[in-house]
Amino acid sequence: MERLWAPWRMEFILNEKPSCCIFCLGEMQGEESEKERLVLYRDTLSFVMMNRYPYTTGHLLVSPYRHVGSLQDLTAEEMLQLFENVRRACEVTTKALSPQGFNIGINLGKVAGAGVDDHLHIHIVPRWVGDANFMTVVADVRVIPEGLLATYEKFHPFFREVRATAETQRNKGT
């Protein structure tokens, strides 16, 4: 019998699941640390967080703070900032992890595969040649080679730099 060790899954199994939307948790401050919630960057209308159950190392989620389920519900300002933060997240991921490509997607509605279908969010999935190996094909299992907090620590200094640059630009009025 083959064994696949994934001890971090026990945390998911044993922990109490949030009673509210995981993206609305992004609005909350002070109850848990940013690191515990895996939030990497906050802007005025949207934020970037790591996916707790990633497809690959460095799988990020970008979401508006406002609880909306469709693109039509976003204001022009929310849409612009959301996609600016997608661009920023791709830049940071490139610096931190050197992926060879990205899958970027939005699942709108449960039938489209949305795990959270009433709070829009954008997936940023870094890709490397060979990252989908035989395990995915044969066993329908993904192998994530690095722990979440180790990846968080790789991202953190780059997002700190993004935050400082964004604050400087806001202060200058650009």
- Other beta carbons less than 10 A from residue 18's beta carbon: 10
- The counts of H helices and E strands in the chain are 5, 5
**Which pTM was predicted?**
0.78
pLDDT value at residue 134:
53
For residue range 94-115, what is the model confidence (pLDDT) as tens digits? Answer: 999 999 999 999 888 777 776 7
Task: Tell me the mean pLDDT in the region 136-157.
Answer: 78
pLDDT at 138: 52
Cα separation of 132 and 129, whole Å?
8
Tokens 């299992």 belong to 141
pLDDT for position 13: 65
What whole-number distance in Å separates Cα of residue 122 and Cα of residue 108? 10
CA 26 to chain centre: 11
Q: Report residue 33's pLDDT band, with 50, 70 and 90 as the boundaries.
A: confident
pLDDT at 173 over 80: no
| Distance from the Cα of residue 32 to its chain's centroid | 17
Q: Which residues are catalytic?
A: 121
Residue 82: per-residue pLDDT: 95
Q: Look at residue 170 and tell me whether its pLDDT is greater than 90.
A: no
Domains of the chain with CATH codes = 21-159 (3.30.428.10)
The mean of the pLDDT values for the chain is 82
Burial of 66 (0-12, 13-18, 19+ CB in 10 A): middle
Specify which of 23-27, 157-161, 162-166 reaches the highest per-range mean pLDDT: 157-161
The predicted pLDDT at position 103 comes to 92
Residue 157 in this model has a pLDDT that exceeds 90? yes
Q: How far apart are CA 147 and CA 153, in angstroms?
A: 10
Task: Report pLDDT for 154.
Answer: 94
